[in-house]
Amino acid sequence: MIYLDNAATSFPKPERVYTEMDKCMRDYGANPGRSGHRLALQAGRAIFKTRERLCRLFNIDNPMQIVFTSNATESLNLGIKGLLRAGDHVVTSSMEHNSVARPLAALEPKGIETTFVRCDSEGMLDPKDVKRAIKKNTSLIVVTHASNVTGALMPVKDIGALAAEKGIPFMVDAAQTAGVYDIDVKEMHIDLLAFPGHKGLLGPQGTGGLFISEELDVMQMKEGGTGSSSENLAQPALAPDRYESGTPNTVGIVGLGEGAGFILDKGTAAVRKHEAELTGMLLEGFGEIGGVKIYGPKDPKLQVGVVSANILNGDSGEISYILDKSYDIATRAGLHCAPLAHRTLGTLEQGTIRFSVGLFNTREDIMAAVKAVGEIAAEIR
């Protein structure tokens, strides 16, 4: 199987992720932060280690400002809904995933207005358009770091500088970049950073996180046992306890810590170089096949390892099925949970076939994918 669905979930993972998760389950699968016995303390230390590693990756000072969630979607919901109040205005882009667009749509009837800044037909966002969209009551700018449909990188540094200048909280959806691209919350002026654990960070599904700047008062989404201030019916006020009610996903967080450790050891520059090389091969290979349309910037410097394409008017779902069935190549077809992005690209009807590379893909994988698409295109033409 050639796995080119890394934008959904990276696969496989580094061996140390598997090994440490199994060790956690078998050796120290106790309840962290509640009981005081040795196994519980070991579990608690393992969770803290993951916080520290994520801090190193994202240049975050205080590990306690990293809140663990079950995925980036939960992180985005927590940040967006926890911050916004009736009467607020939000600026976002027309390339957002449903994990941003749907919470914002749900807030509309509650008196929170959103401007979706239009990206160009490649899915690129102009910071000047963001600036123009800002109103007096703009209380949040939230954008994806890179489109999950075209891979297009958004100018987060410029938008961050703009947000800082205007004193507007800035949130970034790093679903497609965390672990691969350099993210520096200080340099980029990011106040809320939502990230999944199971994509570029190479951890297991069921993990994600939200960095919350100490300067923001974000309302929690759930209350419950936190192992702290137990005598009190009010939720503790301090992060991360305020946001982490109930038993955490220790085994998942341990796996995420190993994935992050692997990335730190290797360096994001090396990860990015590898993925950019494969992305370039895909773009070049597809570009030479008649009838193949590629969406997005078509330049590995302007995009992550996500390439969306169509073959003439062929059904994206059917072609993805043929790739799986006849070539053993795993891709994703359809709308990729991002209807706004497909409207921007004009692919709301056809969807796209998405090829997304990962750290463990090889040049041979890419050559096989290009060959397969060439054969299918020849059939259709």
The nearest distance, CB 279 to a second copy, in angstroms, is 19
Contacts of 375 (CB under 8 A, 6+ apart): none
196 makes contact with a second copy (CB under 8 A): yes
Range in contact with a second copy (rule: CB under 8 A) among 119-127, 225-233, 304-312, 369-377: 225-233
Out of 115, 147, 177, 235, the only residue in the binding site for a second copy (CB under 8 A) is 235
- What does 195-249 look like in DSSP terms, one character per residue? EESSSTT---TT-EEEEE-TT--PPPS-----SSSTT-SSPPSSTTGGG--S---
Task: Report the residue count for the chain.
Answer: 381
Out of 87, 111, 246, 267, the only residue in the binding site for a second copy (CB under 8 A) is 246
Out of 167, 232, 269, 301, the only residue in the binding site for a second copy (CB under 8 A) is 232
Residue 127 or 295 with smaller CB distance to a second copy: 295
User: Which residues inside 255-294 make contact with a second copy, applying CB under 8 A?
Assistant: 255
242 makes contact with a second copy (CB under 8 A): no
145 makes contact with a second copy (CB under 8 A): no
For residue 221, give the amino acid letter: M
Cα–Cα distance measured from residue 94 to residue 99, given in angstroms and rounded to the nearest whole number? 13
The nearest distance, CB 222 to a second copy, in angstroms, is 4
Residue 93 or 160 with smaller CB distance to a second copy: 93
Out of 25, 237, 367, 378, the only residue in the binding site for a second copy (CB under 8 A) is 25
Please report, for residues 3, 60, 199, the alpha-carbon distance to residue 324 in angstroms, rounded to integers and kept in the order given: 10, 41, 21
User: Which residues inside 306-345 make contact with a second copy, applying CB under 8 A?
Assistant: 317, 320-321, 323-324, 329-340, 342
Residue 54 or 107 with smaller CB distance to a second copy: 107
Residue 139 or 247 with smaller CB distance to a second copy: 247
Judged by CB under 8 A, the number of residues near a second copy is 87
299 makes contact with a second copy (CB under 8 A): no
User: Which residues inside 76-135 make contact with a second copy, applying CB under 8 A?
Assistant: 76-77, 97-99, 101-103, 105-106
Element (H, E) at 92: strand 89-93
Tokens coding 178:
């965390």
Range in contact with a second copy (rule: CB under 8 A) among 74-82, 153-161, 262-270, 295-303: 74-82
Tokens coding 359:
């750290």
- For helices 38-58 and 250-266, give the axis angle rounded to 10 degrees: 40
- Side by side, the strands of the sheet bearing 292-295 are 292-295, 306-311, 352-356, 332-334
Q: Strand 208-212 and strand 66-69: pairing?
A: antiparallel
Out of 46, 57, 66, 72, the only residue in the binding site for a second copy (CB under 8 A) is 72
Residue 160 or 208 with smaller CB distance to a second copy: 208
Residue 150 or 207 with smaller CB distance to a second copy: 207
Residue 29 or 280 with smaller CB distance to a second copy: 29
First vs last C-alpha separation in the chain = 27
250 makes contact with a second copy (CB under 8 A): yes
42 makes contact with a second copy (CB under 8 A): no
| 3-state DSSP of 254-292 | HHHHHHHHHHHHHCHHHHHHHHHHHHHHHHHHHHCCCCE
Signed CA dihedral, 310, 315, 317, 319: sign only: negative
